[in-house]
Structure 1
Amino acid sequence: MKILVTGTAGFIGSHLAKRLLERGDEVVGLDNINDYYDLRVKYGRLERAGIESSSIEYGKLLSSATESNYRFVKLNLEDREALHALFEQEKFDKVCNLAAQAGVRYSLTNPYAYIDSNIVGFINILEGCRHFGVKHLAYASSSSVYGLNESMPFSTSDNVDHPISLYAASKKSNELMAHTYSHLYKIPTTGLRFFTVYGPWGRPDMALFLFTKAILEDRAIDVFNHGEMLRDFTYVDDIVEGVVRVIDNPPMGDPNWSGKHPNPGSSKAPYKIYNIGNNSPVRLMDFITEIEKNLGKVAKKNMLPLQMGDVPATYADVSDLVENLHYKPNTSIEEGIARFVKWYREFFRV
């Protein structure tokens, strides 16, 4: 298959592109390589796949030096004309949209970045799929859409109408927009609610990266909600396995779906939502203890209250994933953190 993967300078996108290439797919990667976090990590991910950073030009498709089936283009999703031209030229079989302005806390101070990338950019993706015969659109949603929901574990059949950050609201909007296109134009779409992804090549704005860096530099770490946060930490390889299975299994629509008792996670249209999480929430303090163990160093801690826009707990119900795709993430935090710390020390030479 020829697959467009957006966000391939990003954490999950870079891992997904590598996995698809390994199994023989043709991949076109797209990313705007913004400076939201350390560009060394973004360019490092691209160079790992044979994309030379010195050769990248906006709007120009660049062939990988090491992967014969991989090309990359630097592009903004909100660049409607350029994205339309890319879809018209390449005639993708499937699309996996992982590009987005990420981060809950950043949305408190930079709201327009989320509208541009996550709303305007997503409608441009949908229009490309509509006009150029894409057979399946898989896209990243987020566990943050559950917002004020306190029913645990979070289920895709739950109502998610109470987001508490603009980032979450933008992801909920993506799900609504996708359903509209699935209904009107019969485009199969699948939304993926990721739960706290971590692992090698991870995002520098995420807890594992921040904690590891601070501990090694002998700086205090900020521990929100006094360490009583619960997170369904999910290892990146588990996430990628789930995404690949989703890409390969476009939704057909549920003939038993009822508008009298509507299930928000499915539809009569070819539309589906999945949680991808470890289904085993971990206390933040236990997570920190595991990092300390791998670094051989105890962290200095600033104990702080819950931050605005954050939820105290996440916990994924993955029964749909198990039932429909016969898959459940299972990497332990002990194994995952050890792999991350090994990568971190090698990449930053510390």
Structure 2
Amino acid sequence: MMSKDHKTEELGTPKNSSSPIIVTGAAGFIGFHVSRRLANAGFKVIAIDCFTPYYALELKEARWAELAKIKALQLERIDIADASAIAKLFADHKPERVIHLAAQPGVRRALVEPQPYIDANITAFLNILEACRHNNIQHLVYASSSSVYGANRKFPFSEHDNVDHPVSLYAATKKANEAMAHAYSHLFGFAATGLRFFTVYGPWGRPDMAVYAFTDAIANGREISVSNAGKVWRDFTYIDDIVEGITRVLDKPTAPNPDWDATNPDPATGAAPHRIYNIGNDNPEELNDLIGLIERALNRKAIRKDVPLPPGDVLETRADISDLRNAVGFAPSTSLEKGVEQFVSWYRSYHTL
């Protein structure tokens, strides 16, 4: 189990102590928590976001206001799809490490509105890679997704398995990010690490994700749509565990691998200083169990409506986290029961219930 006392010790100091860490998507769920953790640990952070209206902007503004209270944070409203704005930001601040979490999220929205996924997940990511290329970045840590496993049926999902069968556009853009990062890392020599997130939840979370959406509906007496009669399993991962993993990875850039064998390639590695890791709880929970925990925390019963599994969704996700555990000592320690309790406590406070 990861010790709370060890957290700031794991995060090393950049060669240039005045060099900030850039975090993109800082008004988003994970980006907010990462920015706050780094700044509270004493690091100078340039936190950027463009406030896309994928969900209520009031929540993003509330996170932004919380970050504004921290002196070590500099907040910038910048669209990373604007190549010139990103180039100027990097040139002005000369960061040595970058955590790229900004993206257009969501599997289902891309079915009806695909263009934002290309703009935010492909074009914007290219701008980040170009900025890293031209500014001597030591390490780029970027968000991928468990969605890349798509039609895979081998469990748990391993980084060493092939992921050539995405079942959503969102997943396809994240797989493209991994390929783009590997190419840039190989061509220009900077370290890059992709993290495949597995169903992250917790305080300040996204309203479209199951934990938040079900809590909000049950608390307000609304019906919830339950896919496949609740016989769906997700590797729910609490935000504090995710942030701990990200900060540990940031301090462990990958070295080039001269022994990599192109005739027997491993999807998780390569000759370049690029690596991919799963970051999840390694303990899938049934959707019915999640609903039961929310009901207990709220002391209210859900009004359920059974619906088919939506297109692009999968029945089960589970992360093999052995590589990340071996590399940085990653060991998630928050049970779903405890995590739901903490989320519902935050929900009551934020919504003044």
Q: TM-score, with normalisation over the residues of structure 2?
A: 0.94
Query: Please, what is the CA RMSD of the aligned residues?
Result: 0.8
What corresponds to 2:229 in structure 1?
226
Q: Report how far residue 330 of structure 1 moved.
A: 2.0
Partner of 2:7: none
Match of 2:58 among 40, 43, 46: 40
Is the CA contact 1:253–1:266 (under 8 Å) kept in the aligned structure 2? no
1:13 to 27, 31, 43: 31
User: Which AA in structure 1 matches 2:42?
Assistant: G
- SS for the counterpart of 2:196 is strand
Gaps of 5+ in 2: 1-13, 15-19
CA contact (8 A) 1:28 1:73 kept: yes
CA contact (8 A) 1:17 1:27 kept: yes
The residue correspondences of 1:307-346 to structure 2 (distance < 5 A) are 307-346=310-349
> Equivalences for 1:1-350 in 2 at 5 Å?
1=14, 2-50=20-68, 66-350=69-353
Q: Deviations over 1:240-276 (max 9, x none)?
A: 0000011110011334321121110011110000100
Q: Is the 8 A contact 2:44 2:73 kept in 1?
A: yes
Deviation at 1:285, TM superposition (A): 0.4
Deviation string for 1:212-267 (max 9, x for gaps)? 11111111101112211110000000000000011110011334321121110011
Partners of 1:162 and 1:175 lie apart in 2 by 14
CA contact (8 A) 1:30 1:73 kept: yes
User: Contact 1:196 / 1:234 at 8 angstroms: preserved in 2?
Assistant: yes
| Percent of residue pairs identical | 50
Give the whole-Å Cα distance in 2 for the aligned partners of 1:343 and 1:69: 25
The AA in structure 2 aligned to 1:19 is R
Structure 1: distance between partners of 2:98 and 2:162: 27
Q: Secondary structure at the match of 2:268?
A: coil
Aligned AA for 1:278?
Answer: N
Residue 68 of structure 1 and its aligned partner are, at CA, apart by 2.3
Report if the CA contact (8 A) 1:6-1:99 is conserved. yes
Partner AA of 2:64 in structure 1: L
- Tell whether the 8 Å contact from 2:40 to 2:70 is kept in structure 1 after alignment: no
Indicate conservation of the 8 Å contact 2:100/2:141, yes or no: yes
**SS of aligned partner of 2:163:** coil
**C-alpha contact (below 8 Å) 1:274/1:318 kept by paired residues:** yes
Tell whether the 8 Å contact from 1:276 to 1:329 is kept in structure 2 after alignment: no
Which residue matches 2:9?
Answer: none
Q: What does the per-residue CA deviation read over 1:55-92, in whole Å, with 9 as the maximum and x for residues that have no partner?
A: xxxxxxxxxxx322211111111101111111111101
SS for the counterpart of 2:22 is strand
Please say if residues 225 and 307 of structure 1, whose CA atoms lie closer than 8 Å, have aligned partners that are also in contact.
no
Q: C-alpha distance in 1, partners of 2:260/2:352?
A: 54
Q: After TM superposition, what 4+ stretches of structure 1 lie above 4 angstroms from structure 2?
A: none
**In 2: Cα distance, 1:22 partner to 1:187 partner:** 27
Contact conserved, 2:97 with 2:137, CA < 8 A, in 1?
A: yes
Q: Could you report, residue by residue, the CA deviation over 1:176-210 in whole angstroms, capped at 9, with x for unpaired residues?
A: 00000011111100000000000000001111111
| AA in 2 matched with 1:235 | Y
Aligned counterpart, 1:56:
none
* Aligned residue-pair number: 335
Cα pair 1:21 1:27 within 8 Å, conserved: yes
Per the TM alignment, residue 34 of structure 1 is displaced from its structure 2 partner at its CA by 1.3
In 2, the alpha carbon distance for the partners of 1:322 and 1:27 equals 26
